[in-house]
Structure 1
Amino acid sequence: MDFAPFMPAAEQTFVLDVPVNTPADAHFYLQTGLEDYAPALPDHQFERENGGWTLRLPFPLGALLTYKVTRGSAESEEGDEWSERRPERRTVITGAATHHIRVQSWMDLNDGSGRPSTLAAGIETLTVHSPELDDNFTVQIWTPHGYPEGRARFPVLYLHDGQNMFDAASSFAGETWAANEAAGKLADEGLPCLLVAVHVRGQHRSGDYMPFAIRANDHQTTAPAYQRFLTETLKPYIDARYRTRPEAAFAAQAGSSFGGVAALHGTLTRPEVWGSCGAFSPSLWVQDGTLMNFAAQHPAPELRLHVDMGTHEGQFVEDAAAGVRQARWFAARSAPHVREVRFQIGEGHWHDENAWRVRLPGFLRWWLSGLNTQP
């Protein structure tokens, strides 16, 4: 008896070109998001063919395939031109296709020079101690042009994953939100603000951002203490050091993925401190969807809430569509419990800094246009 395949698939051909410093005895593998980036699966190994390296594999139709090449370990993954972590390669599986991969470098063959900084002049970098967590945070502050000479006071946006906001040298895979450029353009249009980018604390991102005990944070959350740091230590420090509008209406949090959850948790639980929230691609699935009822359980009648999601966030097209529907439903269920909800879909957007960089200017314009920014 013949059986139909569980999922229709299409053969993908990967043709590999490697740099001249590649070890002569190297073996090459394709690691993908569908296999949780396992670095050395036997059936993902490239074979010699016509003097080069080729791999043929079937992948399910509709897969949102993310992938990189490795020499058999996470440490020997392909890198960018500085042998630092590079962005994932991406394709949507719609049929048979050939993908030409030119590896620029290998991360384990790094000369130590590092990716050059792109941090713009005028962004101040501070070290702020958190008594709540008994640890130090790197915090970067962007101010609009002419700030030192002026007297005006400004609304403030606090950004999670601050290492990804301004500088390619510190950002994940070298991609930034270019937050200073977005804010600078709006300031030139008469919509100024201050940006406070709070870097992650070492390996504590999942603990600090996720208010639930889940596997990603080893079932130990430090999110309440992290939010106390933002509210009771960092914000008063920024308000004292810079010309801010300290009222809740002029203070906002924003972040993506787990950082989007942090922004939701922080603003909904302390609406007397935070007046707006930017939740970019928030991880609404955590704790069996507990966040879906979060706004109803923490009503914030004056809070302005932005929620968005890209159409390519997930392993399959169907997953991504479900994620968009879930985000839309979360926005709809939250609307009765806050002042305002803005929902946005990022067409063709993946779960990455590039997508959030594209959506940030719209959020900033919406947030600032809804404020009386005059001193």
Structure 2
Amino acid sequence: MRSIKQYGRQAWLILSLAASSPLLAADNNTPPLPEVSAGQLLRLPQIASAYVPSRPIDVWLPEGYSSAQRYAVLYMHDGQMLFDARTTWNGQSWQVAETAQQLQQQGQVRPFIVVGIHNIGAARHSEYFPQQPFLSLPEAVQQQLYQLERAPGVPLFAGAVYSDNYLRFLVTELKPYIDQHFATDPAREATFIMGSSMGGLISWYAQSRYPQVFGGAAALSTHWPGTFSVENNPIPQAFLSYLEQQLPAAGQHKWYFDYGDQTLDALYPPLQQEVDRLFRRKGFSAPLWHSELFAGTDHSEQAWAARLATPLRFLLAKPTQEQN
């Protein structure tokens, strides 16, 4: 079997094609509050956590936000990449405020707010890599993964994987704060989670770990390889095995997946198709499950921004708009 250390040596070809990949996260410097052209963006005070380092958290409120109304909540990872390309490391953003506002004004979705949780740079892989699948790997494989580098002298993992603690932070600390300070509907059916790449991994993992909390998860360009190669890579099978055993029963949650086929996304089609087969085998179907190839698209915020309306409509459709 090829050593996982060899995966890192293949990364440079992939990275040359995917220079905008959020796998290469921003540094730990606190960015300025992004500016939005629709709605209002607030930065929360630092929330002291028993589980993870503190980080900026931005909350987007739609135009006309009122405490007399109850709003669904969409939690999104990589919060510094969501709103304003002028403040991001690669000059791109998801354009979340503009798309979310337009969909709400047009009545295509229920009223909702967005909670953008910043990553903390070097720890991104350690926070977003699903922990239980990681621990299911042989100890020797885990140690090989910890030796991988994302750049010369820069480890891919900043330390031990602690995504279970990241989720504890979201569920037991951040969500109660949001529900206390904003006009939210705290029910599972109004609580959603979304991310791309590594953020896609932690999104489906969050819903599988906390099916009583989240009613829908969207994973765009999910980074199923976990590293930068699929050849002799045990990680995708570890994810599949976990989902096989821990996926909540069909019919109670929304699951959205998508993927492109260019740059880093070129690794994803066969892996996502394996995941799709598992979901079908377990009885998942429309309107609660959706997986889509966006042919010709790459691994970038620009690509995710262009199709953001699709997962937003899927997760946040008004009850009267959802198919029976």
TM-score relative to the length of structure 2? 0.74
Report which of the two structures shows the higher radius of gyration computed on alpha carbons. Answer: 1
Q: Does 1:237 align with 2:177?
A: yes
Q: 1:313 to 1:35 in 2, by over 3 A?
A: closer
Q: Does 1:291 align with 2:239?
A: yes
Q: Does 1:341 align with 2:286?
A: no
Q: 1:175 to 1:115 in 2, by over 3 A?
A: farther
Q: 1:66 to 1:198 in 2, by over 3 A?
A: closer
Question: 1:372: Cα distance to partner?
Answer: 6.2
Instruction: Looking at secondary structure, tell me which structure has more helix per residue.
Output: 2
Residues 164-243 of structure 1 correspond to what in structure 2 (within 5 A)? 164-190=81-107, 191=109, 192-211=111-130, 212=134, 214-215=145-146, 216-218=156-158, 220-243=160-183
Any idea what the Cα deviations from partners look like across 1:281-340, whole Å, max 9, x if unmatched? Answer: 1111235211123322213231211011102143xxxx82x6213212212312426573
**Worse overlay, 336-345 or 347-356:** 336-345
Distance between the aligned counterparts of 1:247 and 1:202, measured in 2? 31
Residues 19-34 of structure 1 correspond to what in structure 2 (within 5 A)? 33-34=12-13
Q: 1:372 to 1:137 in 2, by over 3 A?
A: farther
| Structure-2 residue corresponding to 1:276 | 216
Residues 301-320 of structure 1 correspond to what in structure 2 (within 5 A)? 301=249, 302-314=252-264, 320=266
**Worse overlay, 296-305 or 357-366:** 296-305
Q: Contact conserved, 1:293 with 1:333, CA < 8 A, in 2? A: no
Quote the sequence identity (%): 26
Question: 1:143: Cα distance to partner?
Answer: 1.2
1:235 aligned counterpart, secondary structure: helix
| Structure-1 residue corresponding to 2:25 | none
Query: How many residues of Structure 1 are paired with residues of Structure 2 in the alignment?
Result: 265
Q: Does 1:266 align with 2:266?
A: no
RMSD: 2.7
Q: Contact conserved, 2:220 with 2:258, CA < 8 A, in 1? A: yes
Question: 1:186: Cα distance to partner?
Answer: 1.0
- Runs of 4+, deviation exceeding 6 Å: none
| Structure-2 residue corresponding to 1:28 | none
Q: Contact conserved, 1:129 with 1:136, CA < 8 A, in 2? A: yes
Structure 2 residue aligned with 1:325, among 270, 273, 278?
270
Distance between the aligned counterparts of 2:40 and 2:79, measured in 1? 16
Q: Contact conserved, 2:52 with 2:166, CA < 8 A, in 1? A: no
**Worse overlay, 287-296 or 115-124:** 115-124
Determine which structure has greater relative contact order: mean sequence separation of CA pairs < 8 Å that are 6+ residues apart, divided by chain length: 2
Any idea what the Cα deviations from partners look like across 1:145-193, whole Å, max 9, x if unmatched? Answer: 1113x51111111000010001223323010000111110111022221
Structure 2 residue aligned with 1:123, among 22, 31, 41?
41
Unaligned runs of at least 5 residues, structure 1: 1-31, 38-64, 68-86, 89-113
Question: 1:35: Cα distance to partner?
Answer: 7.5
Q: Contact conserved, 2:94 with 2:302, CA < 8 A, in 1? A: yes
Q: Contact conserved, 1:306 with 1:341, CA < 8 A, in 2? A: yes
| Structure-2 residue corresponding to 1:152 | 69
Unaligned runs of at least 5 residues, structure 2: 1-10, 22-30, 135-141, 147-155, 227-233
Instruction: Looking at secondary structure, tell me which structure has more strand per residue.
Output: 1
Distance between the aligned counterparts of 1:167 and 1:236, measured in 2? 27
Question: Aligned partner of 1:171: which letter?
Answer: T
